A and B are shown apart, each in its own frame.
Chain A
Amino acid sequence: MKKATLTALSALLLIGMTSTASAQKKTVTFLSGQNEDVGYTRIISDLAKEYQQKTPSVVYEYQNNTTNGTQKLQLLANSGNLPTLYSISEPTLLVQLYNKGEVADLEATFKKLGIYNKLNPVAVNINKKLTDGKLLGLPLELNIEGIWYNKKLFKESGIKEPKTWDEMMSAAEKFKAKGIQPFSASGDQKWPLTRLIGGYAARKYGADVMDRVKAGTLKLTDPGFIEAARVVQDMGKKGYFGQGVNTIDYDTAVDTFLQGKAAMFYMGSWVLRDLNDEKRNKIGAANVGFFNLPNVTGGKGSTSDWSINTGLTVAVNQKQNDAQLGNWLKYVFNSYANKSMADLGMLTGFKVSKMPKNVPTLTSMTQKKLNAAKNGYLWWEGLFSAKATAVSWDNVQPLVTGDLSPEEYMQQLQNALK
């Protein structure tokens, strides 16, 4: 009897101890679709581990999600098990989760922590557009998109940076005549092709084009959009993207450009990672140039409007947003920008306070363009639903091969917007 009481008492004691211990201990979990050793996940993990050494009560845990992210997040949210930080590819879902009180308002959180001034206003603005004017995602990257080109090939053919879309097309024609593939593009990924449609539309109607589509004042079946789809279709039909564009994956597209087999390559600044990689870049960093999508004759947009985004959105769990997490966020995001720049030469939506000396030339060149950018617009599908995004992506493949007319492309997309 005595023994039983003793066991019961010690069991109680044990329970008591573990519960007090767990009250102090906190686990910060980061669920991301990206591998831990690349890009922003690497920077966050490094900083979180540093913090864990200083503050052992806050344990950092990284989870790599290899399955369908949207589905997984829905399941986790439904069972109240969302991780502390998670990457989420669908802005609509993010807003839904915010409305249920699951997602932290980062503007309020960062202001409370006194680190709101660390954020780059351009990044904040562009990010807010995605989620109904609220800052729900961390701007872990800051990317601008444009056309990277092979300076050597341009020089050899006597071609200058094109100022208008027509000039770009005649340059493409010259390259094709010389047996050089004008553009490298991954049709397998689909979005690199729709970005061109979106870019053309932004030059035609101005940087606010997609906001107007969302508001309903512009319809995708309007002539300018059909023209945009036709221009990209013509590029495909004339063979400017090379053979079998729809089966080319992302890495092949990057390598085609980096091995000097293509003259131009539309891509975001995240590709700097590959451009700065001496092993992959066979044409040499000095031979890489960068220009914004050129103007369209009679268009309202201009080359001071850039397609800007903050990378894959990463949200913070409101239910875990307490003082301990606050300190963690403060620590990590105080050094995030500097460390990203120093370690990876990566541009982020946070302000760099100490520029490292050995920034690669291409990175600082891109940074300058980004700083000079007056207007930012989101990518073509930025404000679309998951369904409309899929329609846009899937249909661009038959569009560039000529199996779907520009009118049908835009009509189907307009129908999917409803």
Chain B
Amino acid sequence: MTTESGISRGESAYEPVIGMECHAELLTASKMFCSCENRFGGEPNTRCCPVCLGLPGALPAVNRMAVEHVIRTAIALNCSIESEAHFDRKNYYYPDLPKGYQISQYGKPIGSGGWLDFEVEGKPKRVHIRRVHLEEDTGKLIHFAGDSQRSFVDFNRSGVPLMEIVTEFPPDLHSADEARAYLTELRAVLTFLGVCDGKMEEGSLRCEPNVSVRLRNAETYGAKTEIKNLNSFRAVERGIAFEAGRQATLLETGGVVRQETRGWDEGRAATFSQRSKEVEQEYRYFPEPDLPPLRLDEPWLERIRATMPELPSSLRNRCLTEYGLSAYDARLISESRATAQWFEAAAAVGGDAKLVVNWMMGDLARLVNAAGASLDQCPVTPQRLGELVTLVSSGAITGKIAKAVLDEMYATGEPPAAIVEARGWRTERDPAAIRGLVEQACNANPEIVADITLRGLTQKRGFLIGQVMKASGGKADPGEVNRLLDELLARATGA
């Protein structure tokens, strides 16, 4: 068995070559070829009709919204777009495939020959896209533990519109980091376009990387393996790193890489052989006779172009110029449309965009993650976070108090101002009151005062400030505390 060696430490003679095949479930009201509702989960086989069950005599009818979503994506990925959408049948047998074939696009994908630009560790990167096409999802086999005699099939997902995005060959990606960055940017683009919710854990965005390695600067490509069952960004990154390392070590020790499909075991953090793919599967593609070509005429394309939403790259630019954020923050904000919209709504109220990001990505993210929720399910609305940030930046409450206010907001959904008033948490600014607390802290810690005044250990001021803040319940205005402490220490030095 091999370990994560070689590639990731950068000492190998081999470099990884990574192609990405991503499947995105499209956000449409109905399925690809029938009017059944398109929704995740649910009681098995409750969203099925003769068409998506492939009953004899049932015929498909194309969902135009799904086609539009693919066109939108193709435009965003700089692809050229076919003037007609053609459909083909991909024939194979599996119990979850009700018609014995999948309707897909083989000969002529809707989009082809595009690219996606993004940054990896501050450096620009371009990945070429070979094709963007439309197909239908299959059903799902369900096995119950202890029942090896039977399998069950759920066809709720059968006929759900899927978009496949395939990178160009030879691949442009050469590390797990790059692959992850590509996937991150792709997900951002898809969610900004509103064509996919990007939820990897629910399978609405699935990624199957093809990994091979070759000697650095070599022209030839080794045998590639395809990794399945990757349902998080982390798994994609770790899976690719492991697989590239495994292949390099194998080659370095005189082994041979077999072309195969490999699964990802999250627990063992390792890939494992699923099935050998030495014989290419025979899909017997041919044009789908039940669907005439769909004309993608110029007026339709023009309407779609005219309604293209802002893309993540543009938002990132605005984050730098309009909001004055760092490149790092800009990237965080633009990871998905939900995050971006949340941020912009909060910043519109909160004023200080940098502070808004800090609160969003810091304390709020901590609360949301702890609840196992996502931002769109968060009880704190962007407006409320904006209000909280305003309270902090105006000095009405201290940063320390604000954390407590946020906890309350998350728990109760109350507006921050109401919480502050009810708890009497406004900042204490009265010099007399603060002077009293400062004096109390100094009197209680004469040796610290001496360290500072006699031995010049000024870093110990922090301790005294902490004592004052603690005594004020976190409400004392930090500026005033500092000023009065300086005054007192100066007097002590002079004395």
B is a partner of A: no
A binding-site residues for B, Cβ under 8 Å: none
Interface of B toward A, CB cutoff 8 Å: none
